[in-house]
Amino acid sequence: MSDIYHADYFLQNGSIDNLPRAAVRQLADQSVVLILSDQADALKPLTVLLESFDGVTSIYLEDILRRFTKNDLPDTLKSAGYFFLHISHANDRVEYIAQNMPVFYLRKKSGESELIEHNFNLFNGNDLGKAIRSIPFSEVGSLLLASSKRVMHELKQRHVHVFAKCELEKLIKALRAPDEENIAYFILNNTLQDRIKFSHKETLPAKLENIISFEQDLEKILKDSYPKEEENNDNALTVFNELILNAYEHGTLGIESAKKQELMASGMYEDYVEELECEINGEIAINVVVYEQNLLKISITDSGKGFAFTQFDCREKSISENQFHGRGIQMAGQLSSMLYYEEGGRKVTFFTKYELNEESSGYHHSEEQILKQMRVLYVEDDRFIRLQFSKIIQRMVGELVVANDGEEGLELYRLEQPDIVLTDIEMPKMNGLDMAAAIKEIHPDQSIVIMTAYNQDDKFLQAIDIGVDKYVIKPVKITQLKSSLYTIAKQIFFKREAMRLMREKKERDEAILMELQHQNRYAIAQQSAAFEKQELIIHDDSASYTNLNCKVFYKPLERLSGDIYGVYRLDEHKSLLYIVDSMGKGLAASVTAVLSAAYINRAIDKSRAANNFTIERLLKDYQEYIEKYLLDDECLSYSLLYLDMETKTLRYCSFGMYPVIMKDNQSRHIFRLESNNPPMSKYLQTSFITNPIDVPDSFTLLLFSDGLVETEIFGMNELLEHMKSGPEGEEIDLFKRVMHRDFVADDDLTLIRISTAH
């Protein structure tokens, strides 16, 4: 007997290297002994030891220890690690003693947890009776031990609470060192007493219709008990479905696994089951218990010959021998927190533990939400499989359409236009592959999943030629089916999302244009309809200067320009010049440019009216405004230059622009006022403005966008060379002449020149 399952508790053990290292025995009535060792060689003498107590009515741990220490054991086994545990129901005690073992982890029903350290040399002749420790069994919630000190230390640090050995084994495998394999462990769980939240017992006549009806009732029970735990509920329902069908087929109807495989392969299984159901009467008893500690327990008892459960214990050896035998039980074991058989296989019990982890449920919720938006067509000719998987798939997806064969499936496809088609291959009238090919002719991009028990190479190749998206082998693990559906659903979902985002972006662009029209309505109303929108918003005082010469060259690449500028004569002595160069071309760049000019112009007008203009305030307010309209991947380059002829100084800030060029007309020396800020983006704004810079008595200043100097026939070198040696005041005239030489620009061109009067 390897594990003990009691109505109120269970005692489980195992080892990571799959070598047995524990002897467990239920000896006298209500008395259980477990001996765990870190040496596999110790198992045989330990088993013989416990067998020697068979028939003894009164058991004491001290008697077991004395008999064990008197054995003629080799020194290697005398120095091994041992943990002796004795559970006495009658005395409400758990007795224990350890040799060369780590501390063990105790979690009480009160919620308190502690590590208990107890080591004693069993073979030194000391008083064993005094060395034995005990605790009230009624106080124990769970008790666990792994033979690795490092693992136990990690479990302590994490304050873990595990329900069954499947969880403990996962933790040990995650925490162990790479070279640490031979780890023995056990877990005692005593949390199933007097904490029942809901209980339901029912005995069903063993008919398929009754089973289906009860599954619907069970689904409601789980939803009422755990409304937010859809995945755990799905797993519990899947396990229940597998186990009760096992009871119905193998127990009540008495169909042997080999016979089932033969019938399934020949396509005669459904008819055979229907005939047996009419001849045989049987019952299946079901007990559903929901515990307060977020635990579900379901027991199924068959009145017939019992479950075909042997594959659960040796499934790894036989799982590849045939297509069907043992796979359902294997899947049930994987999806449940614990599963065990009693009464010679006539009764099975499984547990599902609900973690109620809000952090993890968020991810599953998003997965569920995506699947719930899908419409699925499911095509399956086998009635039993169709009934089983229809309920499972319906819980996953938003809408399910079911067809009995390929011909009906194709007709329903034309009517329903599902997002995903899930189909069997071998079906009457029209097989799944022929149906898939016909669907692909109607809609080449249709997502199709083939679900079949047949894995011949020619079927795979034909499915690939047709363009099937997924190929799932039956019997199907529900987690695998859900993963396949989710993979396809995610692609469909994000494609829809991309289309939705494109529509929303288009709507936002249109809204920006409407806002632009609103902001510029007054200016547009005062201008001639013949001017371009950018020209209407531009503020240009270049013609109003008397003591300075100011000229502008502005040539947009298209009507919708990413360049825009402004020339402001603030008063008799002060001027503000700016150029904004929005990233890209076309509508998006134009919107950013015009919004920039509209805001800057308005801000300057307001500050002039209030007589409180400063370049610092203008820059700060502009950046706060325009940041709202920048796209995530958009950059904005611009220069602001503030010229004060009363003090003969200038201040500027440049964001990723080419340098402002200043020329001393008398010495013909060229000064490059380099960019002092990176280009502005939605997530990066700086605001460095230079201190006042002296300007020569006679000077020329050039501000320009990158389109001016990034051409094949005229660049920065040509511009600087002309400023050094060419006639003063002819920079723009020169550039105009260059532009007329069959020039095809590939960017917007903007140049502002301001100089002392000649």
Half-sphere exposure of 377 (CA within 13 A, CB side): 28
pLDDT class for 456, splitting at 50, 70, 90? Answer: low
pLDDT surpasses 50 at 136? yes
| Tokens linked to 202 | 């029912």
pLDDT surpasses 90 at 140? no
Summarize pLDDT for 581-598 with one digit per residue, the tens: 987 766 778 888 888 999
Type of residue at 633? D
pLDDT class for 67, splitting at 50, 70, 90? Answer: confident
Q: Which of 114-128, 169-183, 507-521, 734-748 has the lowest mean pLDDT?
A: 734-748
Q: Which helix (H) or strand (E) holds 538?
A: none
Mean pLDDT, rounded, of the chain: 81
Q: Which CATH class is domain 4-189?
A: alpha beta
Average pLDDT over residues 47-73: 85
Average pLDDT over residues 341-356: 80
Specify the pLDDT at position 159: 65
Task: Provide the Cα torsion 434, 435, 440, 443; round to 10°.
Answer: 160
pLDDT surpasses 90 at 211? no
Of all residues in the chain, the percent with pLDDT exceeding 90 is 19
| Tokens linked to 586 | 């076309």
Specify the pLDDT at position 366: 66
Summarize pLDDT for 603-628 with one digit per residue, the tens: 999 998 888 999 999 999 999 999 98
Type of residue at 723? M
pLDDT surpasses 90 at 267? no
Which residues 6+ apart lie within 8 Å of 337 measured at CB? 163, 164, 166, 167, 350, 351, 352, 353
The strand order across the sheet containing 699-704 reads 548-555, 749-756, 699-704, 660-664, 669-673
Average pLDDT over residues 717-744: 65
Task: Provide the Cα torsion 688, 691, 695, 701; round to 10°.
Answer: 10
Half-sphere exposure of 543 (CA within 13 A, CB side): 3
Radius of gyration of the chain (CA): 41
272 versus 453: which is more confidently predicted?
272
| Tokens linked to 192 | 């199933």
Specify the pLDDT at position 623: 92
Task: Judge contact between 221 and 231, C-beta under 8 A.
Answer: no
Specify the pLDDT at position 379: 93
Summarize pLDDT for 649-675 with one digit per residue, the tens: 999 999 999 899 999 988 889 999 999
Domain 4-189 and domain 533-756, same fold? Reply is yes
Q: Say how far apart CA 491 and CA 479 lie, in whole Å.
A: 18
Specify the pLDDT at position 114: 81
pLDDT class for 160, splitting at 50, 70, 90? Answer: low
The strand order across the sheet containing 22-26 reads 22-26, 31-37, 82-88, 93-99, 133-136
CATH code of the domain made up of 533-756 = 3.60.40.10
Summarize pLDDT for 393-404 with one digit per residue, the tens: 888 888 999 999
Type of residue at 569? R
Q: Which three-class secondary structure state does DSSP give residue 42? A: helix
Burial 301-335 (b: 16+ CB within 10 A, else e): bbbbbbbbbebbeebeeeeeebebbbbbbbbbbeb
607 versus 194: which is more confidently predicted?
607
Average pLDDT over residues 505-530: 64
CA of 324: how far to CAs of 264, 306, 423, in Å? 9, 18, 19
CA of 205: how far to CAs of 200, 211, 305, 421, in Å? 17, 9, 15, 35
Specify the pLDDT at position 311: 45
Phi, psi of 542 (to 5 degrees): -60, -30
CATH code of the domain made up of 196-356 = 3.30.565.10
Q: Which of 121-130, 354-363, 534-543 has the lowest mean pLDDT?
A: 354-363
pLDDT surpasses 70 at 733? no
194 versus 362: which is more confidently predicted?
194
pLDDT surpasses 50 at 431? yes
Q: Say how far apart CA 453 and CA 325 lie, in whole Å.
A: 12
| Tokens linked to 621 | 């307010």
Specify the pLDDT at position 673: 94
| Tokens linked to 237 | 């329902």
Asked if the bond preceding 428 is cis, omega within 30° of 0, the reply is: no
Q: Which CATH class is domain 359-495?
A: alpha beta
pLDDT class for 389, splitting at 50, 70, 90? Answer: confident
Which residues 6+ apart lie within 8 Å of 458 measured at CB? none
pTM value is 0.50
Specify the pLDDT at position 424: 87
Task: Judge contact between 242 and 404, C-beta under 8 A.
Answer: no
For the chain, the structural domain boundaries read: 4-189, 196-356, 359-495, 533-756
Specify the pLDDT at position 728: 64
Q: Say how far apart CA 702 and CA 483 lie, in whole Å.
A: 63
pLDDT surpasses 70 at 87? yes
Specify the pLDDT at position 744: 58
